[in-house]
Amino acid sequence: MAAGQLIFVSGGVRSGKSAWAEKFIYKTDAENKIYLASGQAYDAEMEERIQRHRQDRKNQGWKTIEQPLHLEKVIPEISAGDAVLWDCVTTWLANELYEGWEQGDPCIDKEGCMEQKWSALQDTVRQIRNQAELLVIVSNEVLDDFVRDAAYQQWLGRIHLWLVAQSDKAYEVENGVAYRRK
């Protein structure tokens, strides 16, 4: 089976990239539209936002899979012909990089921890792409993201470079307008 199409979409925070990616998915003929959500509710505001997004997606026919950590767990949920939207890389990275923070033992401080997560992510993206008709991946621009941690920015840059190299097309969204970069 040929690999499905991979589209990478980046942009600044609140640039309209997620809405643009959703519209891109809607233009497909895919029977199943799957939304991989990486957000976690750490406060009341984020909980309200997640609830609002759940309701919006439900009304729009999405199958939502909330997977803030260990994205590889979604593989059994993806079928041939699906259109998959993963939103977003930056949230996933923060979740994975700082997993264990509350216990004083974050991944970022463990030798080889993030490298294992990075390898698992690469395998997961390849597997989803091999199973789905279309995979659209959304992420914040490295220097536009609100996290200013050097390790985080280095990992985000590394991940973006790989994703763009793997992608069929890459877009940057600014003020709701998508510019094709690849």
CA-CA distance, 72 to 53, in Å (whole number)? 22
CATH superfamily entry for domain 5-180: P-loop containing nucleotide triphosphate hydrolases (3.40.50.300)
> pLDDT of 132-156, one tens digit each?
999 999 999 876 655 568 888 899 9
Distances in Å between the Cα of 108 and the Cα atoms of 33, 35, 39 are: 33, 27, 19
pLDDT, tens digit (0-9, with 9 covering 90-100), for 41-83: 677 776 777 677 667 777 777 888 989 999 999 999 999 999 9
Confidence of residue 123 (pLDDT cuts 50, 70, 90): very high
Query: What pLDDT score does 70 carry?
Result: 95
